[in-house]
Amino acid sequence: MNDFAAPFARPEPEPAATSRSRAALLKRLADVVCLPASRVNAFERAMTADLLVELLRDAVVGEREKVARRLAKLAEIPGVLVRPLLRDELSVARALLEDAAALSDADLISCLYGGGQEHRRLIALRRGISEVVADALVDMDEAAVTETLLRNELARFSHQGLENIVAVTRDNPQLIPLLLKRAELRPCHAYVMFWWSDAEARRTILRRFAVSREILQDAVGDVFPLASAEGWQDPLSAKALQFIGRRQRNRVAADNSLFDNLEDAVAAARGGMTRETAEEIFYLAGLKPMTGAKIFTDPGGEALAILCKATGLPRAALRTLWRGLNRPETDASGATSPDLERVLIAFDTIAVDRAQTMLRYWNWSPSAAMTPALLKAIREGDEAAADQYPASSRAAMLTLSHPIPR
């Protein structure tokens, strides 16, 4: 959109040249607008800006460019003048977007909604982009602009803005490495993005965002016996303490399961995973069916390593689950398959406590910590692999699954 050329231009073609008097008048009015505060007061500047706007409506592009370059040097630019210029053709707006330090958030937001994608890309390149402007740029849902914004180390993002970008990464995986470098990114964001990240991004998430809960365990250690004495009657406290606690397995499940323990349930899957065995493994591991189904259908397989490490299962159990889920164990040469090798490395390198943190976020987040933007991104995932699971697990698959690019 061009506030000068498009809405106000006359039907006839733009003249090749303008009169000398108009050119001189434009220059003089721009001179007055650019005078320091000691020479012109606010009212005089505003009046002059109003006149300049009227002249610029019918001015040729070259004249508008000259005025924009003059204004870019000012410490304070009249909004009535700068905003139409920002929404003007790119050749006019560029000088202001690249060089004008005095542009306010309101000016930039007016430009990003009224200009084109290249206007928004130039805004994303500016130093010190505020959270408000960054969030507005992300809301435009243009991957190229968001990528530019993520590369801008001086841009600032709000929590909601980051969540919106996390949602966008599902269909724009090229943004994931850039987002993982941002200091503002939180574990909850990374754990959600894990499901559609490639192998390299997953390694980064496991290395950087797998957080220990030791400080929380030390801080609330005396609360566990208090809650137990009360019969765990406060559901919110019970849920939080369950997240913090060291024990992952479901002790009650062991008394009611078809198997004596989790190891026996995993061993039963050696010849092939059945619905019943899968549900028992989820139950004994203290997982909701939706979380377990997501882990078992994760194409990358690293989630299986997190499950085994978090629940205290040995390396051999990971291989057993891998085999039971009909994943290839060897390649054409008979060596361990690259996928299994990568998953075994993940198992070996992550600590139990940190694996539990990830597993509990996955198990806890769908009902407590996920915003509409993240839920929408996850729900739009792949539904193809769900048919082999029972109704409860299938519902989870339909909610959470998404293929992972390799």
Show the CA angle centred on residue 257, arms to residues 256 and 262, nearest 5°: 130
pLDDT number for residue 76: 78
Q: Are 176 and 193 in contact (CB under 8 A)?
A: yes
* Distance (Å, whole) CA 29 – CA 53: 10
* Distance (Å, whole) CA 333 – CA 329: 11
* Distance (Å, whole) CA 245 – CA 238: 10
Model pLDDT for residues 31-66, shown as the tens digit of each residue: 677 667 667 767 777 777 777 777 777 778 888 888
What percent of the chain shows pLDDT beyond 90?
45
pLDDT number for residue 295: 94
Mean pLDDT computed over every residue of the chain: 82
Name the pTM for this structure: 0.77
First to last CA, the chain: 41
Show the CA angle centred on residue 138, arms to residues 135 and 141, nearest 5°: 150
Partnered with residue 167 across adjacent β-strands are: none
Read off the pLDDT of each residue in 311-318 and give the average, rounded to a whole number.
96
Instruction: Annotate 336-367 with DSSP letters as a single string.
Output: BPHHHHHHHHHHHHS-HHHHHHHHHHHHHHHH
What number of other Cβ atoms are within 10 A of residue 38's Cβ?
6
pLDDT number for residue 151: 96
Model pLDDT for residues 168-210, shown as the tens digit of each residue: 999 999 999 999 999 999 998 999 999 999 999 999 999 999 8
The tally of CA atoms less than 13 A away on the side-chain side of residue 238 is 8
Q: Are 321 and 308 in contact (CB under 8 A)?
A: yes
Q: Among the residues of 87-186, which ranges form H helices?
A: 90-99, 105-114, 117-125, 131-139, 143-151, 159-169, 176-180
Please give the backbone phi and psi of residue 336, each rounded to the nearest 5 degrees, phi first.
-55, 135
* Distance (Å, whole) CA 215 – CA 105: 40
Read off the pLDDT of each residue in 153-162 and give the average, rounded to a whole number.
91
Hey, is 330 helix, strand or coil?
strand
Do you know the residue count of the chain? 406
What number of other Cβ atoms are within 10 A of residue 74's Cβ?
16
Q: Rg of the chain's alpha carbons, rounded to an integer? A: 30
Model pLDDT for residues 231-289, shown as the tens digit of each residue: 888 888 888 888 888 889 888 887 888 899 999 999 999 989 998 999 999 999 999 88
Model pLDDT for residues 338-353, shown as the tens digit of each residue: 999 999 999 999 999 9
Read off the pLDDT of each residue in 101-112 and give the average, rounded to a whole number.
92
Report residue 130's pLDDT band, with 50, 70 and 90 as the boundaries.
Answer: very high
Tell which residue, 256, 230, 257, 227, has the closest CA to residue 242. Answer: 227
* Distance (Å, whole) CA 353 – CA 306: 10
pLDDT number for residue 246: 86
Tokens of 299: 């194409």
Q: Among the residues of 197-284, which ranges form H helices?
A: 199-208, 214-219, 223-229, 235-244, 251-256, 262-268, 275-284
Model pLDDT for residues 362-388, shown as the tens digit of each residue: 987 644 445 555 556 555 554 433 344
57 Cβ contact partners less than 8 Å away, ≥ 6 residues apart: 4, 8
pLDDT number for residue 391: 40
Tokens of 197: 């990240």
